[in-house]
Amino acid sequence: MKTRAVHPRSLAGIAIAATAAVALSGCVQSANASSAGDDASTGTTNLTVFISGDTNVQALWDGSLIPAFEKAHPNVHVSTSIDLHGQHDAQTQANLTTAVKADKTVAYDLVDAGWVATVGKAGLLSTVSASAIPNLKNVPAATKRQGGDAAIPYRASSVLLAYDTKKVTDPPKTLDDLLAWIKQHPGEFAYNSPASGGSGGAFVMTVLAKYMSESEQATMQTSYDKSLESKWDEGFQTLRNLGPSTYQKGVYPNGNDQVLQLLGSGQIAMAPVWSDQFITAQKAGTIGKDVAFTQISDPSFTGSASFLGIPKTEPEAKKQAAEELADFVLSSKGQQLVASAVSGYPVVPLDSLPKSVAQQFADADPSTLRLGFQSQFAADMNAAWDAKVPQ
């Protein structure tokens, strides 16, 4: 069954969602409540890491990073607070804006969220430097530029090309090679509909980028000019023509996980996949060791770093402790924990890590991540794909 087009929600649905958001606003909570104070009697500094994301990220902090950091820093106690899946991101950012404008503190000391770079560039976070966070000097300049001068890159992921080595002995090296391979091996390639997951979205973005100049791509990564979307026509035509050569002559799985399931069960031989999801699935045994991955070029698939941020109004003592925590995360030990717990790319040079970790990411080239489209362009792309590609 082919993927269904994504339809706008009804006005009634929007009203229900708005009512639910008001009802839930009290839960946003941890981001707006008063922060735990320091314990002067023991000299303990209490920090809260606020997470906007999934439980696997909270598990990374609670199960790996925090215990290791506290062992090395016994006078700092760290806890986490999570807004699951970022359901209240807009409200959290609005509250941070209000607090900074009023020169008031917030209830967290370090932020792990997809919007860190955005609020950092808006002046809501403290600027960071290698003088306060020494291990920041090991992060490639290009990675730091993605987030600006108030964001701390600490892990990364990208979309890769996974392939079954029993069926594919010479994987494609460029996008043109990949498109040719798909037509030469009908039914052996799949990608999910872009609105249902980022791996399929990266494949679509990459095909569209093939027909765009570097300056046009750069504009779509950082700003919004809807008139540029006319540059997508040739790419969408390529994707439409490719449809009959994809899985079951144009069946597009619903989500990243379904693509991994098809690959793991041997129903397809090749697919774009998220690096962290693929590595985690291979560790869990749901993807066999006969499946490998590589990165294509001209252009490559998209990827990006994840960032940490320190609120601008953070008290100096807590700011220093938060910087120590961020510095630990960027240490060799911290980066090994990130790689082990969530299969995140290290953001420091691989040659600074143990050989076993470096080998795990050697073919992924985490130092060169091509950014995806800005969110408004991505939403327009998803809608246009729904209208133009499935037959």
* 222-226 mean pLDDT: 86
Contacts of 241 (CB under 8 A, 6+ apart): none
The total of other beta-carbon atoms located within 10 Å of residue 261's CB is 16
**E strand or H helix at 274:** strand 270-274
- What backbone torsions phi and psi does residue 268 show, to the nearest 5 degrees? -135, 165
Cis peptide before 244 (omega within 30 of 0): no
pLDDT for the residue 368 = 63
**E strand or H helix at 379:** helix 375-388
Q: What is the 3-state secondary structure (H, E, C) of 321-377?
A: HHHHHHHHHCCHHHHHHHHHHHCCECCCCHHHCCHHHHHHHCCCCCCCCECCCCHHH
Contacts of 170 (CB under 8 A, 6+ apart): none
Q: Which of 4-8, 53-57, 239-243, 347-351 has the highest mean pLDDT?
A: 239-243
| pLDDT, tens digit, 9 for 90 and up, residues 279-291 | 889 988 999 999 9
| pLDDT, tens digit, 9 for 90 and up, residues 62-78 | 999 999 999 999 999 99
Q: Report residue 297 CA to chain centroid gap.
A: 20
Does 261 score more than 60 pLDDT?
yes
Query: What are the Cα distances from residue 114, in Å, to 83, 153, 176, 304, 307?
Result: 12, 11, 32, 10, 7
Does 362 score more than 60 pLDDT?
yes
* 329-348 mean pLDDT: 93
What's the rounded Cα separation, in Å, for the pair 200 and 289?
23
| pLDDT, tens digit, 9 for 90 and up, residues 116-134 | 988 998 999 999 999 999 9
pLDDT classification of 40: cutoffs 50, 70, 90: low
pLDDT higher at 11 or 317: 317
pLDDT classification of 56: cutoffs 50, 70, 90: confident
* 304-311 mean pLDDT: 93
8 A C-beta contact, residue 117 and residue 343? no
What's the rounded Cα separation, in Å, for the pair 175 and 68?
42
8 A C-beta contact, residue 309 and residue 161? no
50 forms beta bridges with 81, 111
How confident is the prediction for the chain on average, in pLDDT?
A: 87
pLDDT classification of 224: cutoffs 50, 70, 90: confident
Contacts of 232 (CB under 8 A, 6+ apart): 208, 211, 381, 384
pLDDT for the residue 193 = 95
**E strand or H helix at 273:** strand 270-274
pLDDT for the residue 10 = 30
Please give the share of the chain, as a percent, with pLDDT higher than 90: 66
pLDDT for the residue 87 = 84
Residue 365 gets the label, from left (phi > 0), alpha (psi -120 to 50) or beta, of left
Q: Report residue 306 CA to chain centroid gap.
A: 6
What's the rounded Cα separation, in Å, for the pair 267 and 200?
17
Does 34 score more than 60 pLDDT?
no
Please give the share of the chain, as a percent, with pLDDT higher than 70: 88
* 189-211 mean pLDDT: 95
Give the global pTM.
0.72
What's the rounded Cα separation, in Å, for the pair 95 and 256?
33
* 208-212 mean pLDDT: 97
Does 15 score more than 60 pLDDT?
no
Residue 124, both tokens: 């809501």
Residue 134, both tokens: 């020494």
What's the rounded Cα separation, in Å, for the pair 116 and 92?
11
Lowest mean pLDDT among 13-17, 95-99, 344-348, 367-371: 13-17
